[in-house]
């Protein structure tokens, strides 16, 4: 019997073809509606491979249901939606899509920073709503970006690429990571600081850490209160890295000047969410890596990883390095 692959979002047929030529492939019928959990569990029971997205919770229930499951290929670099411990225990390889989305996500992150600083979304809506009556000296005046201080929390691949973008704007760049990166400091002229120093000194703070128990709620009210009142906070990491209520209160109290958010604690965010009522918040629907080119490459990488595992080869981008295939009876 051919191995069975289940894909949790509708993908273009031409991309899925290499899988269909080798395996039995079943695909959820929608590209924008998540597969219900009970269906996902039923599919996992039959599957040798799952192609998942970051909105699918691949928890113990799903992984334990997958008695034949050998690989989960997640269409994202982040894998906080997957229970890695259970996956490794069950001999399931977890694969992600690092590197191929780095430039695209850095572009969007810097774009979000620019949009928030220069009030681009607010200004565009102002024109479309017919509110533009005359030229005025401080009409929708924002903040300069050039020559300001950018603080990057999570100086990984995307963080470094955002820093590269920022050098073109003559920004001073601070960063905070658990590990210092002397080579990056040399190459880009970035300066390592403590989290506290970065938060206090930066005009723009960009968060690009993974979501882990350590980074969950890293940005609290107390942290926002340490920022300059002119600071703009950008989150392109994961919503849960930020205490959203604290962010809302800090914005409302004028403790920081604005925010650019591509990610939220609960996605999709409800249109009635108080954060969305604030004119100094630019909110995007988690589109960091969403360019036609990059999403296509990410899909291909997931497919390559599935084919590698099912054909007994090394996957290109394995997350759980302690993974060993189970010898199944
Ligand atoms: P990466 O290369 O692994 O970088 C992550 C960085 O975060 C590392 O430099 C790591 O350094 C740092 N970090 C980890 N834990 C930390 C902590 N407790 N405190 C401070 N820094 C910490 O990953 P990447 O490719 O740049 O992606 C980063 C994250 O961006 C992903 O995990 C994902 O959540 C998010 N992302 C979002 C989008 C989007 O659409 N908005 C797109 C792609 C990625 P140390 O280990 O030295 O601390
Ligand atoms: C997107 O958020 C990713 O982790 O790739």
In the chain, where are the structural domains located?
A: 4-99+292-310, 102-283
CA of 159 to the centre of ligand 2 (A): 13
Active site residue 286: yes
Show the ligand 2 pocket: residues with CB < 6 angstroms. 54, 76-78, 101, 288-289
Closest ligand to residue 109's CA: 1
Cα(306)–Cα(48) distance, integer angstroms:
9
**147 flagged as catalytic:** no
CA of 156 to the centre of ligand 1 (A): 5
Judged on CB neighbours under 10 Å (0-12, 13-18, 19+), 2 is exposed
Catalytic residue among 238, 244, 255, 295: 238
Q: Which atom of ligand 2 is nearest to the CA of 75?
A: 5
Q: What is the pLDDT of residue 329?
A: 62
Tokens 């929608």 correspond to 30
What CA dihedral angle connects 124, 127, 133 and 136, to 10 degrees?
20
Residues 6+ apart with CB under 8 A from 10: 27, 28, 29, 30, 31
Instruction: Say if ligand 1 is within 6 A of residue 3 CB.
Output: no
**Helical segments of 205-281, H only:** 221-226, 244-252
**What are the strands, taking DSSP E only, across 57-135?**
71-74, 93-95
Answer yes or no: are the C-beta atoms of 81 and 241 closer than 8 Å: no
Nearest ligand 2 atom to alpha carbon 78: 4
CATH number of 4-99+292-310: 3.40.50.720
The model's pTM is: 0.98
Q: Closest residue (by CA) to atom 1 of ligand 2?
A: 76
What lies within 8 Å, CB to CB, of 94 at 6+ separation is 71, 72, 74, 79, 82, 84, 87, 318, 319, 320, 323
Q: Given 3.10.129.10, 3.40.50.720, 3.40.50.2020, 3.40.630.30, which CATH number is that of 102-283?
A: 3.40.50.720
Pocket test for ligand 2, best of 154, 286, 288 (most atoms within 8 A of CB): 288
Q: What pLDDT is attached to residue 327? A: 79
Residue 221: active-site member: no
Q: Are strands 258-261 and 281-283 parallel, antiparallel or unpaired?
A: parallel
Cβ–ligand 1 distance for 258 under 6 Å, the answer no
Do 102-283 and 4-99+292-310 have the same topology in CATH?
yes
> Using a 6 Å cutoff on CB, does residue 179 contact ligand 1?
yes
From the CA of 298, the nearest ligand is 2
Q: 177 CB under 6 A from ligand 1?
A: yes
pLDDT tens, per residue, the chain with 329 residues: 999 999 999 999 999 999 999 999 999 999 999 999 999 999 999 999 999 999 999 999 999 999 999 999 999 999 999 999 999 999 999 999 999 999 999 999 999 999 999 999 999 999 999 999 999 999 999 999 999 999 999 999 999 999 999 999 999 999 999 999 999 999 999 999 999 999 999 999 999 999 999 999 999 999 999 999 999 999 999 999 999 999 999 999 999 999 999 999 999 999 999 999 999 999 999 999 999 999 999 999 999 999 999 999 999 999 999 999 987 76
C-alpha span between 257 and 280 (Å, rounded): 7
pLDDT value of position 326: 86
DSSP 14-53: HHHHHHHHHSEEEE-S-SSSPPPHHHHHHHHHH-SEEEE-
| C-alpha 214 to ligand 1 mean position (Å) | 12
Question: What stretches of the chain adopt beta strand conformation (E)?
Answer: 4-7, 24-27, 49-52, 71-74, 93-95, 149-153, 172-176, 191-192, 204-207, 232-235, 258-261, 281-283
Cα–Cα distance list, 261 to 113, 233, 236 (Å) = 9, 8, 6
């Amino acid at each position: 019997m051919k191995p069975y692959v289940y894909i949790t979002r509708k993908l273009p047929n031409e991309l899925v073809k290499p899988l269909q030529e080798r395996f039995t492939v079943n695909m959820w019928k929608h590209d924008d509606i998540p597969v219900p959990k009970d269906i996902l569990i039923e599919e996992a029971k039959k599957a040798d491979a799952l192609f998942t997205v970051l909105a699918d919770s691949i928890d113990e229930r799903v992984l334990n249901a997958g008695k034949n499951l050998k690989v989960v290929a997640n269409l994202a670099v982040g894998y906080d939606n997957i229970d890695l411990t259970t996956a490794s225990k069950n001999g399931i390889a977890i694969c992600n899509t690092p590197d191929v989305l780095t430039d695209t996500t850095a572009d969007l992150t810097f774009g979000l920073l620019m949009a928030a600083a220069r009030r681009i979304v607010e200004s565009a809506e102002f024109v479309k709503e017919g509110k533009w009556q005359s030229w005025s000296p401080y009409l929708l005046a924002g903040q300069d970006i050039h020559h300001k201080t950018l603080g990057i929390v999570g100086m990984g691949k995307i963080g470094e690429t955002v820093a590269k973008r920022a050098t073109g704007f003559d920004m001073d760049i601070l960063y905070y990571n658990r590990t210092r990166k002397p080579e990056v400091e040399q190459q880009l002229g970035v300066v390592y600081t403590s989290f506290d120093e970065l938060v206090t000194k930066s005009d723009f703070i960009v968060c690009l850490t993974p979501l882990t128990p350590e980074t969950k709620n890293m940005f609290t009210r107390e942290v926002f209160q340490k920022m300059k009142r002119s600071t703009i906070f950008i989150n392109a990491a994961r919503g849960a890295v930020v205490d959203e209520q604290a962010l809302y209160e800090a914005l409302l109290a004028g403790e920081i000047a604005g925010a650019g958010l591509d990610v939220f604690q609960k996605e999709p965010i409800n249109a009635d969410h108080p954060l969305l009522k604030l004119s100094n918040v630019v909110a995007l629907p988690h589109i960091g890596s969403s360019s036609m080119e990059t999403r296509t490459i990410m899909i291909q990488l997931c497919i390559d990883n599935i084919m590698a595992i099912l054909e007994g080869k090394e996957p290109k981008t394995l997350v759980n390095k302690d993974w060993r295939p189970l010898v199944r009876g």
